[in-house]
Structure 1
């Protein structure tokens, strides 16, 4: 497993846990964090024993976004990783899931602040659990900045446009309950339990057929911008091959024999 000084990588069964680990800076983005995060996404996709990914933050905070001190000219932490960015100028965007989509389900476990770049990165995850004291928001306009991590495109597609525009144009904070009310997160749990709740969800996913899970996720995103007619046709192309897999037959046998299925990605 990889990881850097600002990104911890651990295994919990079939789940890869990526932890933003710069608590002294509220997990603000650094080169070390971004490089570790991108490598984590690649590791999850390359290893077929990994069936899900949980993204969380250390120290009771998810991510406070861009390091404003670095932006002001003090230098971004993790400069020794600069060569990785020169080799792949898009690495930071892919790390933040702006235009990189892991094929495995990604579950966000949010405690504390998840603002600016944190809220932008959140939009690249699939399932989102938040502690009741979590705070969300896109603060960029308050600093004269633009939320260039994808929010002007993705947020209005994920929550009602009126809520998206209010969040984008006011830069105000949102409580976990309010974020759940507008659909930005799916579930609010007691403080300190978001990671446990995310891991429980991951375990449920891990118990399902991995080929089916990955095909379902791919279909949801592939058809999002299609007409209903186009989407239904694309769904058949993606879904029918799943029925011909050994895993599909195993699922039916396990149901008939009243036992847990033993999926093999075949």
Structure 2
């Protein structure tokens, strides 16, 4: 992997056409901090602005994904985060963009989860597109047990991603869910042996990277754009997204490569 910067709590690496963002505060189970949020925000922007990036993998260091908010760190007290206060003042929405509440990357985002993915971790998860978890991973929205509200988007998004009865149980009980149970209700797509979630996520990313980038991004945009439309509205919107892809040079290259029995070389044109 190629190092790409980041912050003290968020590392950024390149693996081929995939940008890997790693929550890097293992001593705190990667609880959210100002440096982490700023790093996440900048990572999403970097991925979208760099056309050589085809996909993003989000993971955590030290055997955990994210244990949610660290109120002390988010307040910028002590050494962690002091230098990032100006960024937060300049963009009061930065933390919501970082957590994918108010920002949707145009590139596919794959979550690779090991260990704890709870509270704010489960909220960030809902902003990702494809989700892989190690067998011992745990999920849950614990806010109500602490007298809090899961304000990262869960009361809106979760019922749209899993059946409402399961969404309400997760939201109202504040109990933990195993990886197998999370897969059973549709919150995650893959359960793999512990320690291999990142490998599986990168393998999925490679499959995406081999596809036409214009097609991939248009398909993702169409899925989210049409989610709340009527079928008639959605089908009309799909045509608007789809026809420009069919008219692209990449579409012609895909057909040529198929006929010539070779791998396509896509140029985003």
What range describes the TM-score normalised by the shorter chain of this pair? over 0.9
* Candidates 200, 222, 247, aligned match of 1:244: 247
The alignment status of 1:201 with 2:204, answered yes or no, reads yes
Cα drift, residue 2 of structure 1: 3.4
1:45 correspondence with 2:48: yes
Are the aligned partners of 1:137 and 1:167 in contact in 2 as well (CA < 8 Å)? yes
Match of 2:9 in 1: 6
The SS at the match of 1:237 is helix
2:124 pairs with 1:121: yes
Aligned length: 266
Q: TM-score, normalised by structure 2?
A: 0.97
- Distance between the aligned counterparts of 1:26 and 1:215, measured in 2? 35
Give 1:76 deviation, angstroms: 8.6
Aligned counterpart in structure 1 of residue 24 of structure 2, from 1, 21, 24: 21
The alignment yields a C-alpha RMSD, in angstroms, of 1.4
Deviates more, 1:117-126 or 1:72-81: 72-81
TM-score (norm 1): 0.98
Structure 1 residues 181 and 75, CA gap change in structure 2 (3 angstroms): farther
1:78 to partner: Cα distance: 1.1
Q: Distance in 1 between matches of 2:125 and 2:232?
A: 30
Structure 2 gap segments, 5+ residues each = none
1:94-152 CA-to-partner distances (Å, cap 9, x unmatched) read 00000100000000000000000000000000000000000000000011000000000
- Indicate yes or no: 2:256 matched with 1:253: yes
1:1-266 equivalences in 2 (<5 Å): 1-70=4-73, 77-266=80-269
Q: What is the CA–CA distance in structure 1 between the aligned matches of 2:153 and 2:164, rounded to whole Å?
A: 15
Q: Could you list the per-position Cα deviations for residues 160-210 of structure 1 after superposition, in whole angstroms to 9, with x for gaps in the alignment?
A: 000000000000000000000000000100000000000000000000000
Q: Which runs of 5+ in 1 are unaligned?
A: none
Contact 1:107 1:202 in 2 (8 A): yes
